[in-house]
């Protein structure tokens, strides 16, 4: 990455950290997302301790709810443990229990190349957790007009398993939707299966203003919007705005995946 990219990234990180501590509503919304994610982590026990790694940690706030989390990013910061690409992770084969991507999957120009690298690092039974935007009928205009990143088209997704020769900035907010919900995909060739696919309405988050905009409702009204989200989530194709996909590396003993 160029020095200019590094400087822009650091500017955004500092701005986001300021918003994180200034906006309690934002923190509440993210901690609700974290609760969903943590519920799907592999077991942590003395015989086989959890080794959880976050890809693209940014501000590193997830460590507040996952003690011992290993934070990685493309750019250095005091809270980042490893500066690395998602396509070349600094872990020995079969040593990681969980790989976590929060709003990162849609920045992977070659998502299946990442999954190949994930398969190398994960122990058998290890998991990949992908938390990303979900493109529904009502969230599409929000993501299209309210965010600078493109949604992308399913036909433009690169299914190759070789990493990009010249990694650069990439974004397609709809990739997780296209790959895991709109297409009937088989487990990736390196032996993953889909453990769970969730999608839900998240107007309480979208209207919180995120990191860059003011909140569109006061904190005392959050309960009402969250209740509406629970109702709208019953029709995810129409109203969902977030998704969480959990993939699991198959055990060697699985007869369908020797």
- Distance in angstroms (rounded) separating the CA atoms of residues 258 and 255: 6
Write out the DSSP string of 34-53. Answer: HHHHHTTSPP--SSS---EE
Q: Tell me the average pLDDT across 15-23.
A: 91
Residue 165 banded pLDDT, cuts 50, 70, 90: confident
Residue 11 has what pLDDT? 83
Domain with residue 243: its CATH number is: 3.40.50.150
Residue 7 has what pLDDT? 73
254 in a domain, yes or no?
Answer: no
213 in a domain, yes or no?
Answer: yes
255 in a domain, yes or no?
Answer: no
257 in a domain, yes or no?
Answer: no
Write out the DSSP string of 44-112. Answer: --SSS---EEEES-TT-GGGGTSTTPEEEESS--TT-SEE-BTTB-SS-TT-EEEEEEES-GGG-SSHH
258 in a domain, yes or no?
Answer: no
192 in a domain, yes or no?
Answer: yes
Residue 182 has what pLDDT? 81
Q: Tell me the average pLDDT across 44-64.
A: 94
208 in a domain, yes or no?
Answer: yes
Nearest residue to 245 (alpha-carbon basis) of 175, 191, 147, 170: 175
What is the total count of domains within the chain? 1
Find the range with the poorest average confidence among 22-36, 75-89, 162-176. Answer: 162-176
151 in a domain, yes or no?
Answer: yes
Given a cut of 60, whether residue 54 has pLDDT beyond it is: yes
Given a cut of 50, whether residue 254 has pLDDT beyond it is: no
Given a cut of 60, whether residue 253 has pLDDT beyond it is: no
Span 105-121, pLDDT tens digits: 999 999 999 999 999 99
Per the structure, the complete domain to which residue 165 belongs is given by 3-249
């Amino acid at each position: 990455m160029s020095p200019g990219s590094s400087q822009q990234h650091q500017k955004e990180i500092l701005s986001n950290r300021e918003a994180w501590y200034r906006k309690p509503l934002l923190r509440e919304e993210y901690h609700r997302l974290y609760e969903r994610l943590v519920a799907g982590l592999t077991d942590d026990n003395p015989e086989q301790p959890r080794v959880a790694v976050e890809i693209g940690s940014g501000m590193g706030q997830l460590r507040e709810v996952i003690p011992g989390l290993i934070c990685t990013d493309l750019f250095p910061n005091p809270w980042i443990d490893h500066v690395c690409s998602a396509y070349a992770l600094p872990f020995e084969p079969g040593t990681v229990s969980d790989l976590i991507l929060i709003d990162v999957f849609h920045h992977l120009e070659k998502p299946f190349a990442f999954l190949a690298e994930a398969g190398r690092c994960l122990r058998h039974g290890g998991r990949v957790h992908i938390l990303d935007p979900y493109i529904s009928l009502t969230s599409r205009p929000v993501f299209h007009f309210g965010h600078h990143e493109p949604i992308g088209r399913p036909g433009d997704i690169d299914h190759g398993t070789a990493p990009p020769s010249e990694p650069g900035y990439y974004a397609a907010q709809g990739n997780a939707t296209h790959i895991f919900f709109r297409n009937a995909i088989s487990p990736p060739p390196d032996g993953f299966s889909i453990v769970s696919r969730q999608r839900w309405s998240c107007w309480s988050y979208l209207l919180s203003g995120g990191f860059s905009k003011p909140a569109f409702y006061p904190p005392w009204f959050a309960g009402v919007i969250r209740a509406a989200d629970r109702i709208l989530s019953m029709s995810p194709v129409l109203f969902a705005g977030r998704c969480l996909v959990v993939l699991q590396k198959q055990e060697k003993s699985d007869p369908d995946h020797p």
